[in-house]
Amino acid sequence: MSKKTVLTGITTTGTPHIGNYLGAIKPAIEASEDARYNSFFFLADYHALIKCHDPARIARSSQEIAATWLALGLDTDKATFYRQTDIPEITELTWLLTCMTSKGLMNRSHAYKASVDANREAGKEDLDDGVTMGLFSYPILMAADILMFNADIIPVGKDQVQHIEMTRDIAGRFNHTYESLFALPVAQVDESSPLIPGLDGRKMSKSYDNTIPLFCSADELRRLINQIVTDTRGPGEPKDPDNSTLFQLYSRFATGHDIALMRQKYQEGIGWGEAKRELFEHLDSQLSGPRARYHELMNDLGAVEEVLQKGAYKAREKSAPFMEKIRIAAGIRPLTYVPVQPETDTQVKKEKSAEELLRVEEGRRRAILMQLKSLFERVESSDNKAEAALQVLAEKTAEVEGLKKKQKQKAQNELDVLKTELAQYVN
C-alpha cells in the first residue's frame, strides 16, 4: 500500500507561541513519526509577503520558526523540511494554475470577501481598496504548494477548508484540460482539539496580543503567567478547573495522573497564586530543554540553513521532474519533443487501483461541471426547463459533430455529463 503524503505550511510572520506549539507543531511532529505517511513541512515565506511588508520581521520569523521546529525534535531524515522560496517550481506552477483558475472562484475567497465587506462598511467607493493581487489570488499559491507534491492530506483549521476545496477545483480543471497529473487533496480538521486560551481567556492569538512566546526566558514566562486573568475566589474556595485558563494550559502539558491531582487541588480550593506557581514550574520544566536547544540553533543559523538546504534538495528531487511533466502536458516543450504514445484505457485501468480511478474520475467530472455552470444556470432560469434542456443538448451535439480529434473528445465528455445532469428535465 502506497504512503499518503501530508503537507503543512507555516507562515513566517511571527514568533511561535504556546498556542502554535500545542495546536499545530506538536501534533505535526508526532504525526511525522508515523511510517504510513510522507510528511512535508515548509516555511511559507512567500505567503508572509501577502500581509507583512516588514522584511526584518519576515527574516527574523523564518529564523525563529525553523529553529523552533528543530529544537522540538523534528527528524528531518523522516520528514521533508524546506523553505517555500527554495523551490522555484512552486512559483512556476502558480502561474500555470493561475491560467486555469476563473476570477469567479477567487471572488468567493473568504479573505477577499472580508476585505470587500470591510471597505463597504467603511463607506469606501472602491470596494477593492487595499486589496493586492497577492491577497486576491493567494489561494492559487496555496494550491501550488499542495499540488507540487501531490499531497493527499492537508491539516488545516476550519477557516482554511475553503482553500482545499478551491485546490481540488483547480486541480480538476487542469486534469480535465490537459492530463490527469494531480491528486485531489483532502482537508484534515481536528474537531476534537480544544481551544488554547491566552492570557485573557480568549483564544491565544497574536491578533489579541495575549500570547506566551514558546521559548521566552524563565523570568518572562513567570511574568506572563502571573498576568493570566482569574476570578475573585480566594484560597480555600473550590474552583472550577474546566473554566480556568491556568488549568487548561496545565492540562495540555501534563500527564493524566498529574492532571487528576491538579483537578483535585482546584476542587479543594488551591489559591490562584499557588496555581500560577504550579503552572510555571510545570511549563518551565517541560520547555527548558527545547529552549536551550532553540537558543543554540539561533546562535548557529548556518547549521539551520544547512538543514533547510538539505530539505530543499529532497523536495526538488520530486518537484523538478514533476514540473517537467506539467510543462509538457500544457504544451511548454522543447521544439524536438516527440509525444510518447499514450497507453490504452485497458492498460491504464490495469495499473491503477479502483480507488485511484474513482479519484481521477471525480476530479474530471467536477471540472466539467464547473465549465458547464453557465449552461445549467440557463436551464434552471428558464420558464420551460425541458425545452431549454433540449436546446442546450442540441447545441452541444452540433458542436461535437463539428470538431475533430482531441477537441471533439473533450466536447463529447461535456455532452455526456450534460445528458446525465439534464435527464431529469427531458425524460
Q: Which residues of 121-139 are buried (b: 16+ CB within 10 A; e: fewer)?
A: eeeeeeeeeeeeeebbbbb
Per-residue pLDDT 10s for the chain (427 aa) are 588 999 999 999 999 999 999 988 999 999 999 999 999 999 999 999 999 999 999 999 999 999 999 999 999 999 999 999 999 999 999 999 999 999 999 999 999 999 999 999 999 999 999 999 999 999 999 999 999 999 999 998 888 899 999 999 999 999 999 999 999 999 998 776 778 999 999 999 888 899 999 999 999 999 999 999 999 999 999 999 999 999 999 999 998 899 999 999 999 999 999 999 999 999 999 999 999 999 999 999 999 999 999 999 999 999 999 999 999 999 999 999 988 776 555 555 555 566 666 766 776 777 777 778 788 888 888 888 888 888 888 888 888 887 776 577 777 888 888 888 888 887 6
Q: Which residues pair with 37 in a beta bridge?
A: 4
Q: What's the predicted TM-score (pTM) here?
A: 0.78
Handedness of CA 71, 73, 75, 79 (dihedral sign): negative
Cell of 51: 500581509
Q: How far apart are CA 393 and CA 202, in angstroms?
A: 56
Helix/strand/coil (H/E/C) assignment for every residue in 303-372: HHHHHHHHHHHHHHHHHHHHHHHHHHHHCCCCCCCCCCCCCCHHHHHHHCCHHHHHHHHHHHHHHHHHHC
